[in-house]
Amino acid sequence: MRKKIALALAGALILVLGTAGLAQAITSQQTVAVKLAQSHAGTAAKPKSVGALTVDMNVAVNPADKPFATKSVVVHFDKNLIFNSAKFPSTTEAQVRSGAASAKAKVGTGSAAGLALGQREALKVTAYNGPGGKSILLHVEGTSPLSIDTVIVGQLKPDSGAFGRKLVVSIPANLQQPVGGVYATLTSFLTKVGGSAKGTPYVAIKGCSGGKLNFKGDFVFTDGSSQSPTSTTACKK
């Protein structure tokens, strides 16, 4: 009899905890979109420059959600895109932080917006090619209502399946909580990268499968929940 009661209590506890976990999940909707300035594909032997590649991430905030921040992001890029970052001049995270980054290592610009305690902060983003082209260093700056000056490091790594490369990002703690105990939601984050080095484009396209390119984002939030939105963009052979 005692064993049955114990099992029943354990089952009830699991149900309650499971329900609580569901109730705490972020319901604000995360999106990710990738656009190319030039989407006519080349070949594996002669890929064509995309001109510029824009990654646009947005959150439609549900006011019913408790304050939250994004902890990490992984952006997956279609296998038909080629990143030639290893052939570009680079700089280090320390140089970016100190304001000594080489202008030749700059590969893009962008903007972002954070929301905390009902106040919105506009942020400026400058993208640099990291050491050996294995990373993208995003210098994020803001002045009002808070002074923000930090670097987000995105590691460029091989991917699998429909994707060729992925950008793996951990959001710095001072962006998640710019003030102790106060979460800041990155409601938008847009970065445009491109350019060429000695005739080699930063990003190129070698093919077009089914007339579209596939992208996905994996987002993890501070409450432990996650979302994995997908998107496509048209391409031509």
What is the per-residue pLDDT for 12? 39
Peptide bond into 63 cis (omega under 30): no
What is the per-residue pLDDT for 24? 65
Alpha-carbon gap, residue 49 to 196, rounded angstroms: 9
What is the per-residue pLDDT for 4? 47
Q: Do 79 and 164 contact (CB within 8 A), yes or no? A: yes
Per-residue pLDDT of the chain (237 residues; tens, 9 = 90+): 444 444 443 443 333 333 333 446 899 999 999 999 999 999 999 999 999 999 999 999 999 999 999 999 999 999 999 999 999 999 999 999 999 999 999 999 999 999 999 999 999 999 999 999 999 999 999 999 999 999 999 999 999 999 999 999 999 999 999 998 999 999 999 999 999 999 999 999 999 999 999 999 999 999 999 999 999 999 999
Phi, then psi, of 110 in degrees rounded to 5: -175, -170
Q: Do 193 and 88 contact (CB within 8 A), yes or no? A: no
193 CB-near residues (< 8 Å, 6+ apart): 52, 53, 107, 108, 127, 136, 202, 203
Q: What does pTM read for this prediction?
A: 0.89
What is the per-residue pLDDT for 92? 98
